[in-house]
Amino acid sequence: FSDGCDLTPEAVKASFERLFEEGPNGSSAPQVYLETDAEIIADNETGNLTIRTTIPYVDLTKNLAYPVMAILDVEHTTDYDHSPIGTGPYVAADFQEEVGYTMAANEYYWDGEVPFESVELLYMGDASAKAMALQSGQLDLAENVTNISDLNTLRENPEFTVTIASSVRTGLAHMNMSEGRLLSNKTLREAVLMALDDETMCSVTVGGLYTSGYSVLPSNLDYGYENLTDPYPYDQEAAIQLLDEAGIVDTNGDGTRELDGQEVVLHYVTYSNRCLDDFAEAIQQQLAEIGIGVDLELGDSARQWDSYQSGDFDLNGSNWTTVGTGDPTEYLAAWCSDSGSDYCGYQNDEYDELYNQLSTTFDEDERRDIIQRMQQILLDDAAVVVHGYYNSSMISRNATIGGAAIHTADYYWLTNEIYPAAQS
Residue 404 pLDDT class (50, 70, 90 cuts):
very high
Checking if the pLDDT of 305 tops 90, the result is: no
Note whether 6 and 51 are same-domain residues.
yes
Note whether 258 and 325 are same-domain residues.
yes
Distance CA(319)–CA(171), nearest Å, equals: 4
Residues 6+ positions from 186 with CB-CB distance below 8 Å? 381, 382
Do the beta carbons of residue 297 and residue 271 sit within 8 Å?
Answer: no
Note whether 14 and 58 are same-domain residues.
yes
Q: CA 321, 308, 225: angle at the middle one, nearest 5?
A: 35
Note whether 50 and 146 are same-domain residues.
no
Note whether 205 and 288 are same-domain residues.
yes
Residue 412 pLDDT class (50, 70, 90 cuts):
confident
Boundaries of domain holding 112 = 92-123
Residue 74: other Cβ atoms inside 10 A: 18
Q: What average pLDDT does the segment 289-316 reach?
A: 91
Higher pLDDT pick, 190 / 341 = 190
Q: What is the pTM of this model?
A: 0.85
Checking if the pLDDT of 282 tops 90, the result is: yes
Note whether 119 and 129 are same-domain residues.
no
Note whether 3 and 149 are same-domain residues.
no
Q: Indicate the number of domains in the chain.
A: 4
Note whether 265 and 366 are same-domain residues.
yes
Note whether 376 and 408 are same-domain residues.
no
Note whether 295 and 413 are same-domain residues.
no
Note whether 191 and 230 are same-domain residues.
yes
Distance CA(57)–CA(306), nearest Å, equals: 30
pLDDT of residue 177: 97
Note whether 22 and 44 are same-domain residues.
yes
